[in-house]
Amino acid sequence: MGTASLTIALAGNPNSGKTTIFNNITGARQHVGNYPGVTVERREGVCRYQGKNLLLVDLPGTYSLTAYSLDEIVARNFIVEEKPDIIVNVLDAANLERNLYLAVQLLELERPVALALNMTDTAEKVGIRINDKVLSQKLGVPVVRTVGNRNKGTKELLQAAVAASSVQYRSFRIDYGADVEAKIQILYQELETVPDNKYPKRWLAVKLLENDKVVNEKVAALVGGQRVLTLAEQCRSELAAGSGDDAETIIADRRYRYVADVFNAAVSKSMNVENFSDKIDKVLTNRVLGLPIFFSLMWLLFNLVFTVGAYPQGWIEDGISWLGDWIGAYMADGELKSLIVDGIIGGVGGVVVFLPNIVLLFLGIAILEDSGYMARAAFVMDRAMRFAGLHGKSFIPMLMGFGCGVPAIMGTRTLENPRDRMVTILVAPLMSCSARLPVYTLLIAAFFAEEVAGTVLFSVYLLGILLAVLMALIFRNTLFKGDSEPFVMELPPYHLPTLRSVLMHMWERSVIYLKKMGSIILAASILIWFLTNYPAEVEYSKNYEELRTQAEAAFTENVAKDVYAPLGAKILAENLEDLPELKAIAAEIAAINTEFDEKTADLAEGSAELAALEADKENRLKKLEADNEKLYPLAARYVELQGEFEGAQKKLDYEQAAEKLEKSYAGRIGHGIAILTQPLGFDWKIGIALMTGLAAKEVVVSTLGTIYSIGEADETSTALKEALAADPTLDPLVALTLMAFTLIYAPCLAAMAAVKRETNSWKWAAFTMVYSTGLAWVVSFVIYQGGRALGY
């Protein structure tokens, strides 16, 4: 974007409507990145105005410009270091006094400023009248009235901004009072002797008096800076001694006094009514109703994201599998087909399948944020979440964690404080996501009686919640130690969210997800595909081809002996095609059997419905037998032999697939880590399943299907349940340990890609993987060894 002829920085308080104005100006021509090295988002957009290319940078919303908050440091560094041609400061007209406090600090940075007096309609409704001429005159900058959510005043604002950028900067100074001004003068003069200083000197002097740690560091790096710092120290203590409060407070106080003077001159309040927003608030954060309303809204949000989201997810899954089949049908079996169908299409599917959740979550979050309820949610939940060292707003990501870790981690974006965000990101995956449920269901069905199934499942979820609380407390007191962040938070007025802003928000998150995370997830899926499918040629313990040929020969021989021979020498049948009558009967028997199997697949043993269907099947077969007395027994025998043959073939296929997986790279790793998994009661088979579970936790089930030679299996597969139950290395204790391990260990690759994206660092993604797997091992070890010691 080097062609921009003007750079405009957009600054303002949170909730001032800054982003709406940014969207009004730039439309869709914007993009979101990060400021170098930090997680603060940098939103940029371009627009053409009067033949000029304008580059707009939306600075983080802040209340002040101190060195205590990363957002504030980023905003002021941008202004001081990148020197935008003009700063447009968006002010909430209904809340002007506090908004002006930031405005004067921006003016102190000695860059041209234009003020956008936003939401003037709301202000007038509550009886606040602002004389913008007086405001403009007092501060020496242009003031433009805007109504962002109705796109009013946008043109006028651009015009004023472009005009102001070419006007010579008019000096602005706050009179801090004789005592402070004397000190500013001393420091100013000292700073004049310092070479290579690119910062405004009066601003530096004020910041030094405020004991701003970032400015202190910057000054210390200058030649002669140490001298200035010593002097500043002396000035600060003299000021403190003279007034009984620290210099920083005195300065902030005087600044607010200056703001109050400007405010009182420019604003008249005609009435002091309880506004509409306060009336809504009385209900929504009511002592009695507040929590029920909060939980109802959370329930709605959860269902919106996961229950409603399940429909488009189903369509996407169907679409992806259709695409795989369609392409697969046009390709010869082989490595390329496997790469494209299982690796790439499967991988893309794994990316796109989360999209409905993300779109819907951010729809919900945008509505909650824009309406003003999000801050109330934090207000209502803060007391409870603080117990775990988390913030009130952490609740939403944690709740989303029960659905899927990816939207949960992306949802931490609503937390402004980086420490709260990091802790929430690290513990949100401990909320048991829906992809882990099939693993629990399978293991519980295989190893636990129906009466305790619910309790076991509940315990696993509870374990996740307890560990999340425990880990949050640990992280809070180790990695993210320090003063607890102040919960001094604005509760913005309620208003109706605009469709445009909600849609923009949704769109932006979805694009970020697909672009930034999609590529990581896709690459990781292909890696997992490679590990489980290669090496392509393995040395099998048996000659499967020969076994297949043998099975086929046996089948042909038996058919000749049991079916064709009894028909007598007069028919020299070589195959069924020569015997159309017999073939028709055999086909009918097979059809009846298939229909019965399909209908009864989901029926419980001993149910009335099953008995009825069984009787029906018998009757149909008897009728067929009565109609074809002679040929029926032969046809039945043929169907039986064919079933046996197909079963034998399938068994060989499954055995071969299992052996291939065992000898794949993933399998070798599974064997290799057996030394680590043995103390948990897991053999190499579980090791492989857990490793493939990194792609997505539900994959653990299908891998178990392959490795136990069952073929394709899901959590309802009876054959897999039986195979697991029959494995002597598995018992209820191991199953429980495995459930705990599945719950805790490294989140799936998609979730780790989300961690990378949201923390802007591979280091934290790697840390998440290592810490959670370590924790999983320790917890599983305690469960397994403890259980064994107790005699289970």
- Contact set with other proteins (CB under 8 A): 63-64, 66, 68-69, 94-95, 97-98, 101, 128, 245-246, 248-249, 252-253, 256-257, 277-278, 281-282, 285-288, 290-291, 375, 378-380, 382-384, 483, 485-493
Q: Which residues 6+ apart lie within 8 Å of 274 measured at CB?
A: none
- Residue 407: closest CA among 305, 516, 520: 305
State the nearest-atom distance from the C-beta of 492 to other proteins, in Å: 8
Residue environment code for 61-78, b if the CB has 16+ CB neighbours within 10 A, otherwise e: bbbbbbbebbbbbbbbeb
Q: Which element (helix H / strand E) includes 479?
A: none
Nearer to other proteins, 72 or 85 (CB): 72
Would you tell me how many other CB atoms lie within 10 Å of the CB of residue 55? 20
Nearer to other proteins, 285 or 338 (CB): 285
C-alpha 692/C-alpha 553 separation (Å) is: 38
Q: Which is closer to other proteins, CB of 379 or CB of 440?
A: 379
What angle is formed at CA 789 by the lines to CA 788 and CA 791, rounded to 5 degrees?
65
- The smaller minimum CB distance to other proteins, of residues 64 and 649, is found at 64
Closer residue to other proteins (CB): 72 or 659? 72
Minimum CB–partner distance for residue 375 and other proteins (Å)? 7
Asked whether the CA dihedral 652, 444, 308, 518 is positive or negative, the reply is negative
**Which CB sits closer to other proteins, 289 or 503?**
289
- Which of 134, 91, 92 is CA-nearest to residue 114? 91
Distance CA 6, CA 158 (A): 11
Smallest separation, CB 160 to other proteins (Å): 26
Taking the complex as a whole, the smallest distance from the CB of residue 755 to other proteins amounts, in Å, to 27
CA distances from 160 to 8, 88, 169 (A): 12, 10, 14
Tell me the Ramachandran region of residue 695: left when phi exceeds 0, alpha when psi lies from -120 to 50, beta otherwise.
alpha
429, 768 Cβ separation under 8 angstroms: yes
Report d(CA 184, CA 190) in Å as an integer. Answer: 10
Helix (H) or strand (E) holding 80: helix 70-82
Q: List the beta bridge partners of residue 91.
A: 117
Query: Nearer to other proteins by C-beta: 240 or 526?
Result: 240
3-state SS class at 46:
strand
Q: Which is nearer to other proteins, 380 or 686 (CB)?
A: 380
**16 secondary structure, DSSP code:** S
In the bound complex, what is the minimum distance in angstroms from residue 778's beta carbon to other proteins?
Answer: 33
Single-letter amino acid code for the residue at 218? K
Those residues whose C-beta lies under 8 Å from the C-beta of residue 187, and which sit 6 or more positions away, are 204, 205, 208, 209, 228, 231, 232, 235
Q: How far is the CB of 113 from other proteins (least distance, A)?
A: 19
Tell the smallest beta-carbon distance from residue 269 to other proteins (Å).
8
Q: For residue 266, what are its two tokens? A: 């420019």
Would you say 84 and 36 are in contact if contact means Cβ atoms under 8 Å apart?
no
Closer residue to other proteins, CB minimum distance, 322 or 487: 487
Q: Residue 383 CB, nearest distance to other proteins (Å)?
A: 4
Contacts of 761 (CB under 8 A, 6+ apart): none
Residue among 487 and 540 whose Cβ is closer to other proteins = 487
170 backbone dihedrals φ, ψ, rounded to 5°: -95, 125
- Beta carbon of residue 461, minimum distance to other proteins (angstroms, whole number): 23
Question: Which residue, among 186, 174, 192, 285, has the nearest Cα to 234 in the 3D structure?
Answer: 186
In the complex, minimum distance from the CB of residue 96 to other proteins, in angstroms, rounded to a whole number:
8
41 vs 253 by CB, closer to other proteins: 253
CA dihedral 357, 363, 367, 373 (to 10 degrees): 20
Which CB sits closer to other proteins, 58 or 92? 92
Min dist CB 213 to other proteins, Å, is: 10
* Euclidean distance between CA atoms 417 and 407, whole angstroms: 19
Smallest separation (angstroms) from other proteins to the CB of 415: 15
Toward other proteins, which CB reaches closer, 37 or 482? 482
Q: How far is the CB of 246 from other proteins (least distance, A)?
A: 7
How far apart are CB 70 and other proteins at their closest, in Å?
Answer: 12
CB of 252 vs other proteins, minimal distance in Å: 5
Q: How many Cα neighbours within 13 Å face the side chain of 412?
A: 30
Nearer to other proteins, 284 or 456 (CB): 284
CA distance 551 to 372: 71
| Cα distance between residue 377 and residue 380, in whole Å | 5
CB atoms within 10 A of CB 335: 11
Q: Which is nearer to other proteins, 248 or 562 (CB)?
A: 248
**Integer Cα distance of 504 and 400 in angstroms:** 21
- In angstroms, the CA 382 to CA 390 distance is 8
Q: Which is nearer to other proteins, 163 or 252 (CB)?
A: 252
| DSSP state letter for 61 | P
CB 77, min distance to other proteins, A: 18
Tokens linked to 308: 């409603």
Q: Which is nearer to other proteins, 278 or 545 (CB)?
A: 278
Span between the terminal Cα atoms of the chain, in Å? 67
CB 489 within 8 A of CB 452: no
By beta-carbon proximity to other proteins, the closer residue of 191 and 284 is 284
Are 16 and 61 within 8 A, CB to CB? yes
Residue 426, both tokens: 């690290």
**For residues 426 and 467, what is the distance between their CA atoms, to the nearest angstrom?**
11
What residues have CB less than 8 Å from 520, skipping those under 6 apart? 749, 753, 756, 757
Nearest distance from C-beta of residue 277 to other proteins, angstroms? 8
Instruction: Tokens for 227, please give them.
Output: 């001298």
In the complex, the smallest distance separating the C-beta of residue 292 from other proteins, rounded to whole angstroms, is: 9
